[in-house]
Amino acid sequence: MPKAEKILEKFNLKKTNFRLELVELFQSSSSSLTADEIRQKINSTNDKVTIYRALTAFEKKCLIHRVPDKSNLIRYALCQKECNQTHHKHNHAHFICNICAKTFCIEDIKLPQINNTSGFKISKTQLTLEGSCPSCN
């Protein structure tokens, strides 16, 4: 696992205390995070604007990606190591736990190949699963 500093460097982001802590938090999370969950878990800031702006910056640089959420919150997870500013591709499924409401990236379930159909041009495919996660069942 690459160190948080290296990652911020790689993506041309400043190494502030908060952003280092945020990268480390994402690295140590098995599931995805909302802005509010981040605020509760982090020490170096308590300002939601700071958190939202970091998330926007991280997403723009393809360090993190949005994942689905049951209650329509914005929820993020770390991208794969292969992702960078020019190459950004995810072909994994997402899993939402109906008990704890967490969302997980499931790398070993690949997306089905769907072809264009009756006038719809398909450029992206998302597969979202629901049920109960390992720690809830």
Partner DNA sequence: TTTATAAACGCAACTCAGTTGCAAATATAT
Partner DNA sequence: ATATATTTGCAACTGAGTTGCGTTTATAAA
Q: Does 36 bind DNA (CB under 7 A)?
A: yes
Binder of residue 40, out of DNA, a second copy, none (CB less than 5 to 8 A by kind): none
DSSP β-ladder status, 75-78 and 33-34: antiparallel
Q: Which residues contact 127 (CB under 8 A, 6 or more apart)?
A: 93, 94, 109, 111, 112
Measured CA to CA, the distance from residue 112 to residue 53 in angstroms comes to 34
Between 47 and 130, name the residue whose CB sits nearer to DNA: 47
- Interface residue with DNA among 33, 34, 90, 102 (CB under 7 A) is 34
Q: Are 89 and 73 in contact (CB under 8 A)?
A: no
Binder of residue 15, out of a second copy, DNA, none (CB less than 5 to 8 A by kind): DNA
Nearest of 106, 125, 127, 129 to residue 116 by alpha carbon: 125
- Interface residue with a second copy among 95, 102, 103, 105 (CB under 8 A) is 95
Query: N- to C-terminal Cα distance for the chain?
Result: 29
Binding site for a second copy (CB under 8 A): 68-69, 72-74, 93, 95, 98, 104, 106, 108-109, 112, 114, 116-134, 137
Binding site for DNA (CB under 7 A): 8, 13-19, 34-36, 45-50, 52-54, 56-57, 72-74
